[in-house]
Each structure stands twice: as C-alpha cells, then as structure tokens.
Chains A and B, each alone.
Chain A
Amino acid sequence: MRTISIALAVARKDLTSEWRTRELVPALAQFVVLALVIANFGFQIDSHNAVAIAPGVLWMALVFAGLVAFGRAFAAEREQASLEAMLLTAAPPAAIFAGKALAAALLLAICEAVLLPALALFFGVRLSFDVVSAVLLATVGMAVLGCLFAAMVARVRARELLLPVLTLPLWIPFVVVGGQAVQAAMGGSVTGQATGLLLDLDILFVVLTSLAARFVLDD
C-alpha cells in the first residue's frame, strides 16, 4: 500500500513539473509529426503503399520518441541532484522507480495521442481498438525497460550514446509483437493472440525491472 502511494507521489511530482515547464511533451509531439514527414520523403508515400508502410512508421516514430522521452526522464533529477535526496528517504527504491516509470509512460501515451491521429490523417489508416490497445500495452513494457536503463545511464559518461544501445535491443520483442498486432488490425483481421503476448511481456518485464531497480538506483 505504502509502495503504491509513494509511486503515485513520485509520478505526480514528475507530471506536475512537466505541466509547469511544458518542455517535453510539445517537443515530442513535434518530433513524431516530423518523423511522419521524414517517412513521407524516405518512402515516397502514395495512396497505394501508405497502409502497408504505416505500421512500420508508427513503430519507428514511437521507439525514437520513447528514447527521447526516457533520456529526459532523469534529466531534472540529475541537474538538481534530487535523486540522491529521494533515495535517502525511507521510500523503497522500487517504489521510486515505479513512479518514474509511470510518469514516463503517461508522457509517452500523451505523445501517442498525437502520433496515432496524425498517422490516421496523413496515411489514411483506420484506428481500431486493437491498434490503440497494442500500442498502449507496448508502452507499459517499453516504459519500465526504458526507465531502468535511463536510470542507469544517468550516472554514466556518454549517456546519450549508451541509452539507445542498451534499450533498443530489449524493446525489439515489443516491436515484433506490437508490429504484428498493428499490421493485422490495420489489415482488418483479429489480433487476440498478439495482445495476450504483449500482456505476458509486460508482466515479465515489470517483475524483472522492479527486482533490478534496487541495484540500479541504490548506490
């Protein structure tokens, strides 16, 4: 119970500071729209190939937006050395980690709220419940993994280099399964199995990262 309330407090703190500065979300929203523009030039999109390319563009934009978002997740803590202060309190590191991951996941979800309609608008694809649920389920797992490695690289030299190198390989399962789900949904077929698999992956990584959080945060 206490763990959950601490996690919620940490998440609320992050979201409040984002609301007051409004620096990450507008930049991310611009970033994903720009990714769609770049995809247009890279793929020479026309009305025939748009639906086939859209799922790939969606995941590319999402993965790179995620890297930017999680790269910033510990920026404020690092600049003000507030992570050490939080760790000095009696709060369990796993709870602090869960709060950070929750806030990062919500920020990424806001960015998805821009990305998905933009994709539907520019690429002419249908947004079904299956597409949204696949993307949101993938966000959970991506957020816990992204936050774990963001916490790690926050204290390492060359952190901008190391975050993608560590995070992207472990995100691949989500892109594989989520990509299949989105492709199937945009093609109009059912995606029951892929959604279940995404849920399994989420559970696996939430458990693993909460066990590992102690070793990454605690110094």
Chain B
Amino acid sequence: MLVAAGFIFLYAPTDALQGPVQRIFYLHVSSAIAAYGCFAVVLLGGVVYLWKENIAADRLARAAALVGVVFTTVTLVMGMIWAKPIWGTFWTWDARLTSTLVLWIIYAGYLMVRRLAEPGRQAARFAAVVGIFGFIDVPVVHFSVTWWRTQHPGPVVINDTLPAEMLVAFLITMACTLFLAGVMIAIRYRIEVLMDQAAEKTVPAPIVAPSEARGAR
C-alpha cells in the first residue's frame, strides 16, 4: 500500500480540472473492485457450502463478507469525500450511490445473520442463502452507470480514457488493494478457524443444583 501511495501522490499527474482531490480515484475504484471480489468469494463459498457442506467454504465466505463490508465502507467514504468538492454535496440519490449503499446494508445483514443464527450448520446455511441473494446487487451496482443516467461517471479504465501515467498508478493501486484484500481474508480465515476450535473446546458448564453448589463451598 505504501508503494501504491507513492505512485498515487508522486508519480500520477494532477488532474487538470479537479486538482489533487482526483487522487482519491485510485483507491476509490480499487476498493470497489476489491469489494466485488470479496462478495464473489462469499457467493462461491455459499454455493459450495450448500452443495458439499464443506466447512472451509463457509469459513472463507465468513471471512470474505467481513472484508467486503470493510472495502465497501472505504469506497463509500472515499466517494463522499471526493463528491463534496466536485459535486458540492456528500450524497446524491444517484443509482450507483444508492445501489452501493444497499449492497453495504445487505452484507451488514449477512454479518447479523451470522451473529444471531444458531452457530454451526444453521448459521452457515442461512448466511449462504443471504450471500447468494445479496450478490444480485453486485451487477446492479456495476452496470448502474450504464443502465440509468447517473451523476456518477461511467467506467474510465476499461474505456481507455485514462492517460498512461494515471493508468499505471491505477493498476498498481489495484494490484496492491487486491493483495491487501487477499491478506485480510487470509487473516480473518485463520481467526475463524481458531474461533471454531475455541467453540468446540468450550465444554458447557456442568449444571449443579444451587444446594449442592453451596455445600461444595
């Protein structure tokens, strides 16, 4: 990420119209793509879990959902900071902004299901269903700028409209962000494994009648 920061602030040219605030672009778009990637992992993990009842797939989905929500938050906050000077407001009810907010809410709901459902098979199944349904919103977010007339600009990277230096800085930022997302998922996966093991080891406290407990003391 430091390398990416170097490219963003030192290498990439300053935007002629928007000035330095345009540098938000690199991280804003990269973290959006990283979030899509995380939610795709949630989808795949959910499908594999429902199909094969594979606990590793469920843990991977759990880890990716959390990281995905983090990156969606980064995208939204960065976007708002960028929107204030350029659009004059933090928020407009534009199709892409709205659908991204909905995406955030859906996966926050996913994390809530994980907490509230009975741990184990039930939580894994319910969460997998939510993760699969929730993924419907990802293409909606992605194509919202082409389907509706939005204030949010359309894709600039794949349309070849970026100057070469900006493209280099963007690609490096994206690679670093995706790598960071991968590392975060791996760390979270490890935490999920440890938490599962801890839950297995915790023996329920023996039920002792109040009178016996007093006698023992």
Contact = CB atoms under 8 A, between A and B. Distances in A.
A78 interface: no
A166 B130 contact: yes
A157 B122 contact: no
B112 A212 contact: no
Nearest to B105: A169
A158 B116 contact: yes
Contacts of B130: 152, 166
Contact of A157 (B106, B116, B125, B134): B116
A215 B129 contact: yes
Given A148-B129, A212-B129, A215-B129, A156 B117 contact: yes
B125 A165 contact: no
A156 B118 contact: yes
Contact of B116 (A145, A148, A162, A168): A162
B126 interface: yes
Interface string A191-219: 00000000000000000100010011001
Given A162-B112, A169-B102, A215-B125, A208 B118 contact: no
Interface string B118-149: 10001001101110111011000000000000
Q: How large, as a class, is the contact surface on chain B? A: 20 to 34
Contact of A156 (B126, B128, B134): B126
A216 B105 contact: no
A168 B130 CA distance: 13
A81 B164 CA distance: 65
A94 to B, nearest CB: 14
Nearest to B46: A215
A216 B102 contact: no
Interface in B104-120: 105-106, 108-109, 112-113, 116-118
A145 B132 CA distance: 13
Given A152-B126, A169-B106, A162 B133 contact: no
A71 B55 CA distance: 30
A22 interface: no
A13 interface: no
Contacts of A216: 125-126, 129
B83 interface: no
Contacts of B122: 155, 219
A166 B125 contact: no
A153 B204 CA distance: 25
A106 interface: no
Nearest to B107: A169
A172 interface: yes
B129 A165 contact: no
A198 to B, nearest CB: 16
A152 B129 contact: yes
A161 B113 CA distance: 10
Closest 10 CB pairs of A and B: A165-B109, A169-B106, A156-B117, A166-B109, A157-B116, A212-B129, A156-B116, A215-B125, A152-B126, A169-B105
25 contacts: A152-B113, A152-B130, A155-B118, A155-B122, A156-B116, A156-B118, A157-B116, A157-B117, A158-B116, A161-B116, A165-B105, A165-B108, A166-B109, A166-B130, A169-B105, A169-B134, A170-B106, A170-B133, A170-B136, A172-B102, A212-B132, A212-B133, A215-B50, A215-B129, A216-B129
